[in-house]
């Protein structure tokens, strides 16, 4: 009899246990809801606001992607330019040597042909090597004066050439991969001076 009562008591305790568990769950849910409402994060209230945020983020992403692409292109362009013009310093040091060759050839008109031909051969070979590296001479004589390529050191009044024509090239210019390293120094034609007609008193 005693054992039966103990079993019955255990059954009553087991029957009450699910009710307590359900109550605890309801209380836990209520506490969680109240805590969420008190600490609800600030966010979009409508679909329109949410879409506006998405559009703004998308615009930022597009701009950042464009900035990154521009940076890559600029970096590549700078690398290409550095590679193309890496020899500019060396060329600038060689220009006086080229000038001396030209003066020597001009002065050797009446010299021994063998000597002149030898100097001409060396000069031509040097120009060929420079051309392979992207160097081009700027020959201005007979051309229309171009301030982007020529440096006028004087003007000469004449009626033998149109005004603005390069009459004489004093010093040759040079370009490296289409970049001007030294302008050609030239004398430019100016309009002829006309004598004023005497005025009648």
pLDDT(6) > 80: no
Whether residues 166 and 105 share a domain: the answer is yes
Q: pLDDT-based confidence at 195, cuts 50/70/90?
A: low
Q: Are residues 72 and 135 in the same domain?
A: no
153 shares its domain with 64: no
Residue 166 has pLDDT above 90, yes or no: yes
One domain, residues 114 and 182: yes
How does DSSP classify residue 112? -
Grouping H, G, I as helix, E, B as strand and the rest as coil, residue 40 is coil
DSSP state of 141: T
CB of 176 closer than 8 Å to CB of 131 = no
pLDDT of 101 > 50? The answer is yes
Q: Which two tokens stand for residue 195?
A: 């004598």
Which residue range(s) make up the domain with 56? 45-84
Amino acid 47: pLDDT: 79
How large is the greatest C-alpha to C-alpha distance in the chain, in angstroms? Answer: 163
**Domains held by the chain: number:** 3
pTM above 0.85, yes or no: no
Task: Indicate if 153 and 166 belong to the same structural domain.
Answer: yes
* pLDDT tier at 199, thresholds 50, 70, 90: low
Tokens read off for 68: 């990154």
The answer to whether residue 136 sits within a structural domain is yes
- Same-domain pairing of 54 and 69: yes
74 within some domain: yes
What confidence category does residue 186 fall into, taking pLDDT thresholds of 50, 70 and 90? Answer: very high
Check if the beta carbon of residue 165 is closer than 8 Å to that of residue 189: yes
Q: Are residues 102 and 124 in the same domain?
A: yes
């Amino acid at each position: 009899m005693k054992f039966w009562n103990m079993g019955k008591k255990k059954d009553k305790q087991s029957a009450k246990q699910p009710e307590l568990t359900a109550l605890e769950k309801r209380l836990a849910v209520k506490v969680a809801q109240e805590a969420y409402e008190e600490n609800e994060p600030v966010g979009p209230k409508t679909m329109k606001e949410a879409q506006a945020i998405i559009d703004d983020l998308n615009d930022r992403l597009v701009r950042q992607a464009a900035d990154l692409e521009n940076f890559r292109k600029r970096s590549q362009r700078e690398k290409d330019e550095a590679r193309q013009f890496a020899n500019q310093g060396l060329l600038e040091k060689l220009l006086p040597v080229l000038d001396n060759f030209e003066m020597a050839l001009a002065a050797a008109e009446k010299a021994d042909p063998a000597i002149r031909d030898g100097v001409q051969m060396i000069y031509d070979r040097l120009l060929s090597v420079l051309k392979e590296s992207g160097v081009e001479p700027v020959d201005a004589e007979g051309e229309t004066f171009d301030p982007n390529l020529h440096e006028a050191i004087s003007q000469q009044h004449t009626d033998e050439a149109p005004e603005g024509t390069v009459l004489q090239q004093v010093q040759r210019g040079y370009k490296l991969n289409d970049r001007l390293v030294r302008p050609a120094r030239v004398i430019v034609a100016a309009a002829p001076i006309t004598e004023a007609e005497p005025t009648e008193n």
